[in-house]
Structure 1
Amino acid sequence: MARQHLWMSRSDRRAWNSAASLADLGRLTALWLEGTLASQPGYVPNFGPDEETTQTPGLVRALALCNRAGYVTDCSQPGLSEPDLDLDWWTQREAVSGITDDPAVLAALREAAARHGLLCIEHGPDTPVGPRPEHIPVTTRNGEAHTWFGGWSAPEDVRFRWKGAGEQAVAAAERAWQVTLANPDSGPSRLLLTALVEAFADPAVARCVRCGCTEDDPCPGGCAWVPELLLLEDLCSNCAVDHLAEQAAADGRDHAGTAGPAPAAA
């Protein structure tokens, strides 16, 4: 079995050290998410995104879109509701946190949150010392809050997070807005992912509204476009199956118990 080196390669170190702006940090983070770079500051060297991220359809693609647009993400999670091997019950809200120094990107995040009913926490670079927005509990274990998103990162924490990146890029990160978006509800959902794709995808490129795939960047294993007249949405074949299943489940819930009493036996 190949040994995992616990230090960053020279080529990755050079790439991160050459970053001169927040845009550079976003571009390199996208490459790390996609597997082109093996390491990223703040993470164990030569370990990419965790399985929770890579196995959620469309999540890596959506995060890469955010980073290339100027919203540099540092943490995210999909929604879930399931037991672990010890039968403890875990629930998660979809959530993402990151930084931006672009007013247009900040406006896009605010608009996405408002349009889709997402929770949004902002920490501005000029926010005075004192009370700050409360962070959001995003994971529970047996009903008790376990992890939170949206806490403020002090400048020294930002410097530690990006240690090894270029000095100008780290300075830009310290001055950036810190923005967290989260689904108000726990459990499996694509609300946040859809909002991010809508906010940052190129409108000139046909793209699945759920997973963000395109003709040139299809889902792993391949997919095809579903005729728009069928679903009135731009969906790939993989997401269309999920969409129709969710609709059928919702219809079943809506009509449950409304059929009236069963006929009497003859």
Structure 2
Amino acid sequence: MTAIDLNADLGEGFGRWRLTDDERLLSVVTSANVACGFHAGDAATMRRVCELAAARGVTIGAQVSYRDLAGFGRRAMDVPPAELAAEVAYQIGALEVFARAAGARVAYVKPHGALYNRVVHDEEQAGAVVDGVLLADASLPVLGLPGSRLLELAAKAGLPPVTEAFADRAYTDEGTLVPRGRDGAVVTDPDAVVERSVSIARDGAVASHSGADIRVRARSLCLHGDTPGAVELARRVRERLVAAGVRVEAFA
């Protein structure tokens, strides 16, 4: 039976501001990408999400980012490799404190936003992320886009690479994500998102922005928690996957 993990970006708040419905999404997903304070999140939020995730048996992952609270980690930045590696390790370490206090642990790492897209092609920045993960814990899997420099370098360094796909993001014909600033970059039709999820999980395929069929080999499927109706959409995706004979389970 085909198996796939459902991950969501959680803990994306700061102080009194909350963007994601963490508690309800944690009743659906199998892995939680927890913001570590650089693009969103703070100490209290990280602690709360780790406690909720641990109580529900949801795997905890560190979602690391450029230091960009104002831009939600989605602005292009140039960070020296040594500095970026240290900041990646810092974020993982901060989340690990709260994960362990909740009786769990940080089980994987996923870059966020501009950093996620940058390390698809940029070897220097990808290498810095890998160095940061190695500094924090040399056994941690790294979640990223199939064919990315990040996953290639992670594998060479002995970090387990885990491929990821997005049902609600448009793909180019080359298999990369259409930049968010372009029309149609985000798939907003719930029915389309559900059907794309099944196609990715069961068939390893999805239609690109131009309509071409592209191969997408993914062990994990990302469900964005900051979109309208995110919780109900996540539930529909999970139910449809199970109905299609797909086993939903965490990869880590």
> TM exceeds 0.5?
no
TM category (shorter chain) comes to: under 0.3
TM-score (structure 1 length as normaliser)? 0.25
Q: Greater CA radius of gyration, 1 or 2?
A: 1
TM-score relative to the length of structure 2: 0.26
